[in-house]
Structure 1
Amino acid sequence: MAFATNGAVRISYERMIAGDGPAVILLAGAGRPSTDFDDNFCAPLFAAGFVPIRIDSRDTGRSTALVDVVPDLPAIKASALGAGDGLPPYGIADMARDVLAVMDAEAIGRAHFVGRSIGGLVAQQLAVLHPDRVQSLSLIMAMSRSMADVIPDAALDRLMAEHIADEAAYVDRQLGVAQANGMAQDFDAERIAAEARIAWRHGIHRGGTARHFAASLAAPDLRVALGALFVPTLILHGRQDKVIPHERAAETRAAIPGAVIEIDETMGHDGPPRLRTSWGRRIAVHIANANRG
C-alpha cells in the first residue's frame, strides 16, 4: 500500500503485482473501496502482463475521508437542474486530479483506465482534461453527465440519513443493495456478506457514498468534450441496470469517437463473480488491442 498527495488529500493505492508492464488504473464505484477489483477480475490482466493499480478514491478505503461533511443532496440536485446553488464538497475534476497524483507518484506518463460507475465518470473527466495521459478507457456501468434528472429525491434522502454503525450493519446494507440493484440469479447471501466484510475492514466511511453522489450530481456534461477524444473505449453495461439507465451508456458510446458498447441482458447495477470474470477477460483483450495500437 502506498500514498499520493493532492493538496490536503492523501490517496491510497496498490500495485497488485510487480513488474514494468503497462499500467492499468482501476477506479471503483460510489462509496466503494478498491477491493472491489479482486483477483477474480484482475487475473486476465495479470496473465496478459499488465500491472493493475487499484486506487481508493477519496472517502473510501485508506484515503482521506471527509466524515464530518454532510452534503445537501436535494439542494445539489436542484442546482444541477438549474434551480439553486447547492455545491458538493468536491467535484469529479478533484477526484480526477487525485488519480493524476497517483500517476505522478508512480512516474506513469500514460495508463489504461478501468472505471466502474462513478469511477468511469472520473476516468472520462481525466481523459478530457489530460488526453495525453490516457491510453484506453474501459467503462463499466457508464454515464458521461449528471444523473440529477433520474435519481429520485427519496433515494437521496435515504443516503443523507444513512447511519452504518458497524460491520454487521454494513453487511445488512449490502445485502439490501444487492437485492435492489442486482439480479435474483446472482443473489448469494454468504458471498455478498463476505465481500462486505472485506470492504468494511479495508475502509467504509460515514457519508462517503453520499459525498460521491454529491460529486456525480454536480458533474459536468462531458459529451461535447468527449467528441474530441481519440481514445480506444469499451463500454460494458447492463440492460437491467436500475441506477444508470442503459440509454446513458449509449450516450457515452455516441459521444466518444469509435467507442464500442456491449449490453449484457442479464446484468444489473452489480458485480457478482460471473460478471467480474467476464469483465476481466473482455477488458484484457480491449487493453491488449489498444496497447498494440
Structure 2
Amino acid sequence: MQQFIDAAPGIRLWTEQRGAADTEPLLLVMGAQASGIGWPEPLVDALAAHHRVIRYDHRDTGRSTWPFEERPYRIADLADDVIAVLDGLGIDRAHIVGMSLGGMLAQMVLADHPDRLLSATLISTSALSSTPYTRPDGGTVPADELPGIAPELLELWARPVEDHGRAAEVQRQIEHCRVLAGGQLPFDTDSFRTLAQRVIEHTGHHRTSTAHGRAEHDGMLRTDQLATTEVPSLVICAPADPVFPPPHPQHLAQCVRGASLVEITGMGHALPPAVLKPLATAILSHTGAARG
C-alpha cells in the first residue's frame, strides 16, 4: 500500500507498506540521495514475512517533495521526517533499520525518541559519538581519526554530475555502485542496472540531487544518549565498506550501549543479491529477540 505523508509544511513524503498489518512495524531508512526503492525487493519481502514493513522516499528523492534549492533544510530535519512517517501512519513504536545516512538518522531517533523504537539496526554507518575507539590491544583511537572514505570513491564524488540522458545516468549509477560494493564479492551488474532503472521509473525522471550532501549537519553528535540507551541495537559490519570501513562498525558497537555486532561476509556499501539473505537473517534475529 502506498501513501503520502505530510511531514512538514510543503513537504510530502512517499511511503509504502508491505506485510500483515497486525505484525510489529519495521521502518527502513535509506542513505543519502537514495529513495526507498533502494531497498531491494527480496530483502523487503523477507522482512515483510514477519513485519509490517515501511519504506519511504527522503526529501529530494523519489516521489517525495524536492524542496532544497528553494528551501534548504538540515540533516536534523530528515531525522524529524522519520518520526513524521511514524506519526502519519499511526505507528506508536517500530523497529528501525537505517543504512549509511539512514543509520545516522536512526541514531538520532534512538537518542532523541527512544520511546518510539522497539529496536534499532544500523548498517554501514558511522557513530554519532565523540567516544574514542578502543582497539583489541587496548589502545585507543580518537573518533575523528578513524579511517576515511576510499580515495577512489572521493574522486568519483568529485566529478560533476552531468545530464547525458537516462541511459548514461543508469550507467553512471552502476559504476557508482561498483565502487560502493567494495570488491570482495563478484559484482552483479544486472541487478544494479535493474535497481537503477526501477528508481528512475519510480521517480519519474533521471535527475539527481546533491541536497543531502549540502544540508546543514551541525549538532548531530549524540554521545551521551547513545552510551545510555536501553533500546536493543544491532550494528551490521560490512568488511568491504569503502565509506565507513572497519573499525567504524566496531566503534559504533562500542558507542551504543549494549549493541551487538554481526558481520556480513564480503558486504560493502551496497546491497547486492549475495548479502540479502544473511542480512535479512541478522535483522529478523535481532527484531525477534527484541520482541522477547
TM-score of the superposed pair, with normalisation by structure 2: 0.83
Q: What 5-or-longer segments of structure 1 have no aligned partner? A: 70-87
Deviation at 1:280, TM superposition (A): 1.2
2:174 is matched with 175
Indicate the percent of aligned positions where both proteins have the same amino acid. 30
1:11 is matched with 13
Q: CA 1:67/1:130 → structure 2, altered by over 3 Å: closer, same or farther?
A: closer
Deviation at 1:223, TM superposition (A): 2.6
Q: CA 1:265/1:190 → structure 2, altered by over 3 Å: closer, same or farther?
A: closer
2:91 is matched with 108
Distance 1:161 1:10 in 2: 28
- 8 A contact 2:185–2:266 mirrored in 1: no
Segment of structure 1 superposing worse, 157-166 or 57-66: 157-166
Distance 2:156 2:216 in 1: 16
Report the residue type matching 2:247 in the other structure: E
Q: Secondary structure at the match of 1:227?
A: helix
Instruction: Give 1:128-143 correspondences, 5 Å limit.
Output: 128-143=111-126
- 8 A contact 1:92–1:219 mirrored in 2: no
Q: String of CA shifts for 1:191-240, please: whole Å, max 9, x gaps.
A: 221111001111277453x2222348546222332112111111112122
Q: What 5-or-longer segments of structure 2 have no aligned partner? A: 130-142
1:193 is matched with 193
2:161 is matched with 162
Distance 2:72 2:247 in 1: 28
Q: CA 1:242/1:184 → structure 2, altered by over 3 Å: closer, same or farther?
A: same
Report the residue type matching 1:29 in the other structure: G
TM-score of the superposed pair, with normalisation by structure 1: 0.83
Q: String of CA shifts for 1:30-77, please: whole Å, max 9, x gaps.
A: 2111112233102332322x10001111111111113636xxxxxxxx
Distance 1:190 1:174 in 2: 12
Q: CA 1:38/1:68 → structure 2, altered by over 3 Å: closer, same or farther?
A: same
- 8 A contact 1:67–1:207 mirrored in 2: no
Q: CA 1:162/1:145 → structure 2, altered by over 3 Å: closer, same or farther?
A: farther
How many residue pairs are counted as aligned between the two chains?
Answer: 272
Deviation at 1:278, TM superposition (A): 1.5
2:103 is matched with 120
RMSD between aligned residues = 2.7
As a proportion of its length, which structure holds more helix?
A: 1
Distance 1:160 1:220 in 2: 27
Report the residue type matching 1:138 in the other structure: T
1:274 is matched with 274
